[in-house]
Amino acid sequence: MSAVETATAVRIASASRLQFLQARVFRSGRVESAVLLFVAIVGPILMFVLGLAVRVSGPGLLAMLLIPTPAIEALIALRYRYLWPAQEVLGWIDTTAADLTSSSDPDLSPALVAAHMAYHAALKAVASGSDGVAQLGEVRPLIGALPPALVRRLWLNRLRYAVVSALAGVWLWTCLVVALGTAGGVVWF
């Protein structure tokens, strides 16, 4: 094997370890994402059909669309709280790495050095068959407060399926209101 082929193989192996680590930490595996997205979309549809079948009143139907499935998705997100420190460390590393590229300060903070060491230890753990979450979670207290934009991004990522489910419920409600409005001969818009 030539040096170029070896370097390419190492880069590919490193990239696949990084992808596995990010998929594990951010719960973005293909099967899990597909199942959670399916529940987020189909849940409000089933509630809509059930509500119409048993002739639930308007506010009750709205509650059926907007509460059960998003609440289940939010509870699933809360179930993975043990991953949150690792998510925060990876997000913080991405944010500070972007800040460092625009900064001319060559000195690195001890927190950044520790975070990068934990990041590489997590990649090494992934290569040996572990998930790498513990290595990232250990350095979370060193980082301190996170930037507000990063906190917002992490919460949206954690609750992404609950948001999708709520949007599906709002869309179904809007379709029902428009259908009822146009079926009666009244056009409100």
Tens digits of per-residue pLDDT, 36-88? Answer: 999 999 999 999 999 999 999 889 999 999 999 999 999 999 999 999 999 99
Q: What is the pTM of this model?
A: 0.75
Quick: pLDDT tens for 110-164: 888 888 888 888 888 888 888 888 888 899 998 889 999 999 999 999 999 999 9
Please state the domain extents for the chain.
3-183
Q: Does residue 12 carry a pLDDT above 50?
A: no
Residue 155 confidence (pLDDT): 94
Residue 14 confidence (pLDDT): 59
Residue 103 gets the label, from left (phi > 0), alpha (psi -120 to 50) or beta, of beta
To 10 degrees, the CA torsion angle through 49, 52, 57, 63?
0
CA distances from 95 to 59, 145, 164 (A): 43, 13, 26
Q: Does residue 9 carry a pLDDT above 60?
A: no
